Amino acid sequence: MSRIIQSTKALVTRSSHQFFHANAIAIAMFFQIFVMLTTIYCFGADLKYSKGNKLLNITDGNLSAIILGKVLPYTVWFLLVGIIMLFSMYVWQDFPFFGNKLAVLVGLLLLILANQSFSLFFIAISNSFREALTIGSGFAAVSLSFSGITFPIFGMPKVLQWLSQIFPFTHFFELLLDQSQRGFPVFYSLNALIILIVLTIVPISLGWFKLKRLFSKGVFNHNI
């Protein structure tokens, strides 16, 4: 009888951990979509209404000043929202957490920055405000399938395994899983943090000159 009780308790504990884990990932996923779409709207609205060149004139052609001035307040705001989100889950609601909380907070900041970087890249390659929003929302939503939540990455074809690495959420999911559920030392999460840093730098670097040309023009190619 005692073995049955112990087995039942273990099964209930495991099920509750999986439930908490699924909720945490779902919330983080929706959070990522909001970051992506808010950033695209922040810049896309100015370009939709032909205000891009005015912003560039105000900053004397300094695109960095425009990006920092418009993105940084949202970065701080989203970081605050993310901290409240994590605090709510892992402190108030007592979701199981066995690792380093600081590593998850750093990963959260890098997830925000990486998604903002991709948002700027999508604006740079889009012909309209609507197209930028469509690409951004599609990218953020599809990342759920490539993160390993619905199907493990190691079971995917090699091409899809490589493709999964370009999604910031894949690496944040790995970091969150390692720290919240597995309780790994931070050393084992450094790879995810480094890739998130790379995914913050590369997209904005690829779209920089095209984004500056777009702001010089002041408006998208198609006003829709």
pLDDT of 192-206, one tens digit each?
999 999 999 999 999
Query: Which residues, including other chains, have CB under 8 Å from residue 55's CB and lie 6 or more apart?
Result: 46, 66, 215
pLDDT tens digit sequence for 53-76 = 888 888 888 888 889 988 999 999
Separation of alpha carbons 126 and 124, rounded Å: 6
Q: DSSP 3-state assignment of 150? A: coil
pLDDT in tens, 73-124: 999 999 999 999 888 888 887 777 788 889 999 999 999 999 999 999 999 9
Model confidence pLDDT, tens digit, residues 211-224: 988 888 888 887 76
Q: Write a three-state SS string for 52-78.
A: HHHHHHHCCCCHHHHHHHHHHHHHHHH
The tokens describing 16, both together, are 């509750």
Please tell me what DSSP assigns to residue 23. Answer: H
The two tokens of residue 170 are 């894949």
Whether 168 and 9 have beta carbons less than 8 Å apart is answered as: no
**Dihedral sign computed on CA atoms, order 61, 65, 68, 70:** negative
